[in-house]
Amino acid sequence: MKPEKQVEALKDKAVSIVTEEELLGKLRRSVKTGKPLRVKLGMDPTAPDLHLGHAVVLRKLRQFQDLGHQAVLIVGDYTGLVGDPSEQKKARPQLSYDQIDANACTYLEQAGRILDLECLEIVRNGDWFKKLSFRDVLELASKMTVARMLERDDFSQRYRAGDPISIHEFLYCLMQGYDSCVVRADVELGGTDQTFNLLVGRDLQRGQDMPPQVAMTLPLLVGTDGQAKMSKTYGNAIGITESPREMFGKVMSLPDRLMRQYFELCTDLSTAEIDRLCSDEVHPREAKEHLAREIVALYHSTQTAEEAAQEFRRVFAQGGVPDEIPEVTLEAAALDGGKLWVVKLLVMMGLATSNSEARRATAQRGVRVDGAVVTDDGLEVEVRQGMLLQHGKRRFVRVRLAGSES
């Protein structure tokens, strides 16, 4: 594909390109020399699962692959130790290296659902950061001033509010920029929250007499709550490895106003088809089912997407229950006279993470026992073998009593 055509294709969905002229120039040199661009994406394994928000930028990286360029995926096992301060109102909790390493081990298989692993270059930035001396760190730190760092909205807001900013947080953008120097990135991708970090990479490359990378940013996908960006931390994420049924149900729970963004960022549908589905001629529920099918099919298959759609309609539109319901074992010894407090039961069965969540779900009439709505959070439930428990519209479990002959 001609460089001009590549630029037009790559601009699709991008929020900013710094700069478009530089990208065109790099693509022209690539065509002339036959040498593909090196396109970098860094991901910190601060959680074990990738979600649709991650997939937005991963899909752009795949587009570069399809155009014949070299994708470089950096697993940030050392930047993850710092924690990206971008758009944070306080310092992130620091994870141990063992936690980071365990999360990183899951990334390759998950990224492989989007990227072509056969031609993917994947590295960990700990490979070079663990070799730096303290003198090297001082040299790197000298490339940034405090005044420049406080130009960042997240840091300036915390500074004005009197909230603490740790010195190690200042190092994050320098580490990310140093990654670009090590892998000799021609292009770096990131969400709009990464703009400052990507521009620092350009500065550090210039300092090492390298051509500065093109910084391309993509939109931040809003999570299922319709408010904050998608994040496991906020509990509003749709994981790309979640079951078809769970993925379908979460998409169907989206506010209607988010449908266009999800169609544009999470599917391969044409603009014309998206316009049709988001128009008045298509009922929002029909459009959302189409969206859910498209997303499930991308990460599973067309067949499983259709099965998830049928299951959703049967369970939620017709008031049925799923064909497959997980069983959770409960020791009979945990019961008091065969009964158990409903709040404790929900927590023990994995339908709530805390007593407060269980109480809240009960108050909102979101808990059912064998189909009957529970309204009293003080209820003592008579637990039976095979009892069906439900929290909300999508979460079901059956009780499997152990240590009991009943």
pLDDT digits over 277-293, tens only?
999 889 988 999 999 99
Which of 374, 335, 328 has the alpha carbon at shortest distance from 349? 328
Q: Where are the beta strands (DSSP E) in 144-234?
A: 187-191, 214-218
What is the crossing angle of helices 284-299 and 302-312, to 10°? 140
- Please tell me which of 14-28, 84-98, 315-329, 359-373 the model is most confident about, judged by mean pLDDT: 14-28
d(CA 284, CA 251): 12
Inform me whether the pLDDT recorded for 366 exceeds 90. no
What pLDDT was estimated at residue 85? 65
Which of helix, strand or coil describes residue 101?
Answer: helix
Token duo for residue 180: 């670009």
- Beta-carbon contacts of 213 under 8 Å, excluding residues fewer than 6 positions away, are 40, 180, 185, 186, 187, 188, 198, 201, 202, 205
What is the number of residues in the chain? Answer: 406
Inform me whether the pLDDT recorded for 253 exceeds 90. no
Task: Please report, to the nearest 10 degrees, the dihedral formed by the alpha carbons of residues 385, 390, 394, 395 taken in order.
Answer: -60
The residue ranking higher by pLDDT, 60 or 357, is: 60
Determine which of 24-33, 93-102, 234-243, 345-354 has the lowest per-residue pLDDT on average: 93-102
What pLDDT was estimated at residue 90? 53
Token duo for residue 175: 């580490």
CB 67 within 8 A of CB 157: no
Token duo for residue 219: 């939109």
pLDDT digits over 116-147, tens only?
999 999 999 999 999 999 999 999 989 888 88
pLDDT digits over 41-63, tens only?
999 887 778 999 999 999 999 99
Which of helix, strand or coil describes residue 321?
Answer: coil
pTM for the model stands at 0.76
pLDDT digits over 295-312, tens only?
999 999 999 999 999 888
User: Which domains, from first to last, does the chain contain?
Assistant: 3-218 (3.40.50.620), 244-317 (1.10.240.10), 327-402 (3.10.290.10)
What pLDDT was estimated at residue 86? 61
Could you please report the per-residue DSSP string of 195-215?
A: HHHHHHHHHHHHHTT-PPPEE
Confidence of residue 404 (pLDDT cuts 50, 70, 90): low
Q: Where are the beta strands (DSSP E) in 246-311?
A: none
CB 391 within 8 A of CB 366: yes
